[in-house]
C-alpha cells in the first residue's frame, strides 16, 4: 500500500491530468493525499469532481509554503510507503508497479523521466543517474539533484526520522530532503525507464526564496 503526497497551490490548470494519471496506475492499492495551501482558484472543485474514495483532500487554508504542507501530509499518511507527485506532472501507467518491486531492497526509488512544456508537448529527456553510488556522488554536488520529486517513492519512517522537509529553504526543500537521507546512509536507485512526464513552465506553484546552499551539507 502507498500513500501519494500531493501539495498544491492554485493548480487548476494541470491537476486534473495529474490525478487522472495516478488513477490510471496498474498498481491500484494506494491513497492520494492532497493538501491545499492557500489555493484561491478552482483547484478544490476539480478535485471534488473525482468520485474515488482513495482521494483524501485536506484544505490547510492560508499559504504557509510547500514544505509545511508536505510535513502535515506526512503525518496524515495511512501507509508505510510514500510517493511524491507534483500537481503539474504526469505518471505513466506502470510507474508504481515497477517501483514497488524494488522498495524492499532500496530506501528511495526514483525513475527516469521526459520533459514536457506547458502544453504537454515533449521537449526532451535528460537521463538521470541510476546506481546508488553515483546518485550519492551527484547529490553531494550542489545543484545536481538526480531524484525528481514526482518520480520518487520512499519509506514514511525514514521521512519522519529526519523531521520531514525543511521549512527554512523553500524552493530546494526536495534537495535538502534527499541530502539528509543520504547522510543517514539510505540506499537510492533510479529505474532507467522514463515513467514520469515532468512539466517545465514559467509559473511555479510555490514561490522560492533566497538561501545559503552551504547550509544543506
How do residues 152-163 score in pLDDT, each as one tens digit? 999 999 999 999
Cα 210 to Cα 168, 170, 178, 182, 207: the distances in Å are 10, 8, 19, 24, 10
Q: How high is the pLDDT of residue 210?
A: 40
Q: Over the chain, what HEC string results?
A: CEEEEEEECCCCCCHHHHHHHHHCCCCCCEEEEEEECCCCCCHHHHHHCCCCCCEEEEECCCCCCHHHHHHHHHHHCCCCEEEECCCCCEECCCHHHHHHCCCCCCCEEEEEEEEECCCCCEEECCCCCCCHHHHHHHHCCCCCCCCCHHHCEEEHHHHHHCCCCCCCCCCCHHHHHHHHHHHCCCCEEEEEEEEEEEECCCCCCCCCCCCCHHHCC
CA dihedral 153, 157, 161, 163 (to 10 degrees): 60
In whole angstroms, what is the distance from residue 34 CA to residue 66 CA?
12
Q: Which residues of the chain have pLDDT under 70?
A: 63, 126-145, 203-217
CATH number of the domain at 82, please.
Answer: 3.90.550.10
In whole angstroms, what is the distance from residue 213 CA to residue 42 CA?
35
Q: Contact, 190 vs 128, CB < 8 A?
A: yes
Total domains present in the chain: 1
In whole angstroms, what is the distance from residue 7 CA to residue 131 CA?
28
Cα 177 to Cα 17, 35, 67, 127: the distances in Å are 26, 19, 10, 21
Q: How high is the pLDDT of residue 205?
A: 41
Q: How high is the pLDDT of residue 16?
A: 98
Cα 17 to Cα 13, 14, 117: the distances in Å are 9, 6, 14
Q: How high is the pLDDT of residue 38?
A: 87
* Domain around 115: 2-215
**82 is written with which cell numbers?**
510514500
Amino acid at each position: 500500500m502507498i500513500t501519494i503526497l500531493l501539495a498544491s497551490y492554485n493548480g487548476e490548470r494541470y491537476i486534473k491530468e495529474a490525478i487522472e494519471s495516478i488513477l490510471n496506475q496498474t498498481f491500484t492499492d494506494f491513497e492520494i493525499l492532497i493538501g491545499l495551501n492557500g489555493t484561491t482558484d478552482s483547484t478544490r472543485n476539480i478535485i471534488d469532481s473525482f468520485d474515488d474514495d482513495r482521494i483524501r483532500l485536506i484544505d490547510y487554508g492560508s499559504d504557509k509554503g510547500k514544505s509545511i504542507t508536505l510535513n502535515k501530509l506526512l503525518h496524515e499518511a495511512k501507509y508505510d510507503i510514500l510517493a511524491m507527485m507534483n500537481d503539474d506532472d504526469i505518471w505513466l501507467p506502470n510507474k508504481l508497479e515497477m517501483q514497488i518491486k524494488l522498495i524492499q531492497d532500496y530506501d528511495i526509488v526514483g525513475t527516469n523521466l521526459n520533459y514536457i512544456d506547458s502544453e504537454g508537448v515533449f521537449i526532451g529527456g535528460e537521463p538521470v543517474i541510476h546506481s546508488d553510488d553515483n546518485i550519492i556522488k551527484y547529490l553531494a554536488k550542489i545543484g545536481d539533484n538526480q531524484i525528481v520529486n514526482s518520480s520518487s517513492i520512499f519509506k514514511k519512517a525514514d521521512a519522519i526520522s529526519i523531521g520531514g522537509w525543511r521549512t527554512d529553504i523553500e524552493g530546494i526543500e526536495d534537495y535538502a530532503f534527499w541530502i539528509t537521507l543520504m547522510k543517514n546512509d539510505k540506499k537510492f536507485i533510479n529505474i532507467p525507464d522514463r515513467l514520469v512526464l515532468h512539466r517545465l513552465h514559467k509559473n511555479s506553484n510555490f514561490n522560492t526564496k533566497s538561501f545559503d546552499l552551504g547550509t544543506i551539507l
